Structure 1
Amino acid sequence: MPEPELRKFLTVVEEIHHEGGPRAEKPLLRAAAVAVIRNPFAGRYEPEIQGFMDDLKPLGLMMARRLVAALGGDPSVVEGYGKGAIVGAAGELEHGALWHAPGGYAMREVLGGAKAIVPSAKKVGGVGARLDVPVTHVNASYVRSHFDSMEVGLNDAPRADEMLLALVMTTGPRIHSRAGGLEAGDIKGEDGLR
């Protein structure tokens, strides 16, 4: 297949100083990279779609690199990540699932081999649909302080024959995290879970 046909791209960074509690010494940053591409399978059922994952790999790498740059350029500051897709109405949920491997592996590569599975969400939606992209710690999925999400979407996407693809990175735990559980400093790093 040809390379993905990109219509729009957005990079956004949230700076969170507090959520009603004391001001943080250093704000939490949440960044999202969003790409709107044409869905090559829109309007029909196509039994063989896996090849499109290879076509999405360069886009995933470009988006992951842009996120690191938006967060200051140092991959070591990234502590959380997630990915998501919104498929336009002429597509199907499985088209969004094609983003799992290229989006996840791109972030792992750019971050130098993060160990945890990259959480994800996907849905079929109309123009202006929003998606809450789940976030977990990059090296241990059970680190409760890093369970987070970031809402993504654009007012004019995805059109029926498009897909909106998103990657999210964060620089730390929720700003007032105090729900207990495994702490980032206690990660063993054996299995991507703990």
Structure 2
Amino acid sequence: MSELVKVRKISTQVEEVYHEGGPVRAEPVLKGSIVAVVENPYAGRYVEDITPFMEALKPLGLKLAKQLIEALGGDAETITSYGKGAIVGEDGESEHGATWHVAGGYAMREALGKALAIVPSSKKVGHMGSRLEIPLTHKDASYVRSHFDAMEVGLGDSPRRGEILFALVMTTGGRPHARLGGLAAEDISQNDGLR
């Protein structure tokens, strides 16, 4: 990994969702997140060109994407939705979190093989212990209504003032009791990332 990317810790969380008050599923929907807490090389100062950090994050993005797929059972073909996000420590700016767009998004696309939809994201500047809601959509068609969801990420000791918490989220299914119609995953046909 590049000298620009100094990782303090990586944390993975997996939820097994069997129901949300309705019928119990035989197989749970798995929702997983992986976060890396990284030193912010631009904390406390304005730097015009921050693209070197964006480029340097690419190997970390791919490592995290592969680790999250493993945590969710190891089969990329079972992953149906995804999202990404960043919490920038107090001495940084939201643009520092935006360096994750390329590194996190393209890493998931590469690790999953086929993923046509835009990777939804959120970012903010926050204090230590901040939480972030990361939106989720179907990886191949953003209009698949059953997969509109979110997952909360965060760590109690992160990000410190000079750090950034970068996150990826993936699931093996949509909401457990989705029943509001719209485009169904099995009806994706246009292969345009939307429908």
What TM bracket, shorter-length normalisation? over 0.9
TM-score by length of 1: 0.98
Q: Secondary structure at the match of 1:117?
A: coil
Judge conservation of contact 2:4–2:41 (CA < 8 Å) in 1.
no
1:154-193 → structure 2 map (5 Å cutoff): 154-193=155-194
1:132-151 → structure 2 map (5 Å cutoff): 132-151=133-152
Match of 2:13 in 1: 12
Q: CA deviation at 1:180?
A: 1.2
**Paired-residue identity, %:** 61
Q: Which amino acid aligns with 1:131?
A: L
Q: CA deviation at 1:13?
A: 0.3
- CA distance in structure 1 between the partners assigned to 2:3 and 2:144 by the alignment: 39
Q: CA deviation at 1:50?
A: 1.2
Match of 1:103 in 2: 104
Q: Which amino acid aligns with 1:18?
A: H
Match of 1:90 in 2: 91
Q: Secondary structure at the match of 2:57?
A: helix
Q: Which amino acid aligns with 1:142?
A: Y
- CA distance in structure 2 between the partners assigned to 1:19 and 1:120 by the alignment: 25
- CA distance in structure 2 between the partners assigned to 1:45 and 1:77 by the alignment: 42
Gaps of 5+ in 2: none
Q: Which amino acid aligns with 1:153?
A: G
Gaps of 5+ in 1: none
Q: Which amino acid aligns with 2:67?
A: R
TM-score by length of 2: 0.98
Count of aligned residue pairs for this structure pair? 194
Judge conservation of contact 2:140–2:191 (CA < 8 Å) in 1.
no
Judge conservation of contact 1:115–1:189 (CA < 8 Å) in 2.
no
Q: CA deviation at 1:163?
A: 0.1
* Moved segments of 4+, more than 3 Å: none
Match of 2:58 in 1: 57
Match of 2:118 in 1: 117
- CA distance in structure 1 between the partners assigned to 2:190 and 2:125 by the alignment: 35
